[in-house]
Chain A
């Protein structure tokens, strides 16, 4: 079996090394993302908006190649507008997710795109779909993605509970993303979230200085063993 080459970005290509997530709750979904776009180690955009509208109540979170995910999202947005006109009603989230999945799977060799689709529709209510690199489609109560997600699987598994309301879900997303942004060099900046319900889409913004703070490593370990500053050179007993 051949292995897929994950590092498929061409040299100079812009990367959404990222932390993204979406969580379903009673009345809707909360989608969230960091705001860092990198070209290698240079932060090309520190205030990116990775939460992309594809329909009135359907948003997607983009990770991987910025160009690939923008192109795919543009096409899905166009397709869903056409759907709305031809069917005379809003598309279900599952339909949007399936269009993404079709694209990502059929072009899996050429693309580098990890997408989370989430929204509200009247058939299923709130739903979250995760479409990782190979183009598989997975419906989940909560989904995380991007390079920063690897550091927060444990936190999410330990913290998530069924049956939350809006505020608890927003807290969960905010804390998870803050942790991922802290550890992952390719994630950072600000937290952007959207709360999507039947009635509205509410955009939330958490600036860098208001991020929830966790242990930042300035505690006991790593301190010098004695009170004296270990850096001071000891003077030699020499004649002046």
Chain B
């Protein structure tokens, strides 16, 4: 079995109108045995930047701590908050450093990017396990259910969804995609990020 499938788990991020959403399942397994239904894979890196880390669970923890360390060093030196577009480049370089012995993670990022005029624009991006960045305009997916997520998202997503509608769309996308994947599921969590608040909701899903 592939090392990327060992623990299971999936993440998706979507762009809306002046908002972004990022969602993941909560499963941690040991191959087919489910161990935890409480394993969060989405982390708040700054107030407006959230990163999802699906893949090998030990690397989820390690990579999160690595990124947190590097982000803190940046914040101390630059005396300002890192923007999401910069952060995805930080993720990329951190992963490429391990090119010949990579972290088994495919990070997904969602955030609100500050524009020169002072406003915020929605931003999503993802990378592969060795740091190739994908700047998407609509949505990004990763994890054991990634192919199913692509399929449902392609069908349900439309541009300029308001936060409440984006929540419904991303929730349905995630729930129905993970229900076709044996290694994702066991609960789900959705973060909807706007310029002034982040709402975190837990979804009721199938527990099989």
Contact = CB atoms under 8 A, between A and B. Distances in A.
B76 interface: yes
Interface in B1-58: 5, 8, 29, 31-34, 36-38, 40, 43-47
A229 to B, nearest CB: 8
B127 interface: no
A217 B44 contact: no
Contacts of B36: 217, 222
A232 B45 CA distance: 8
B38 to A, nearest CB: 4
Interface stretch (A87-95, A132-140, A154-162, A182-190): A182-190
Contacts of B45: 233
Q: Which residue, A151, A183, A232, has most C-beta atoms of chain B within 10 A?
A: A183
B66 interface: no
A41 interface: yes
A208 B80 CA distance: 49
Could you say which interface size class chain A belongs to?
20 to 34
B181 A184 contact: no
Contact of A17 (B182, B206, B208): B182
B89 interface: no
Interface in A179-231: 181-189, 208, 211, 213, 216-218, 222, 231
A151 B29 CA distance: 14
Contact of A186 (B32, B44, B75, B79): B32
A233 B77 CA distance: 17
- CB-based closest 9 A-B pairs: A188-B208, A185-B32, A185-B182, A217-B37, A222-B38, A238-B79, A181-B208, A41-B182, A43-B180
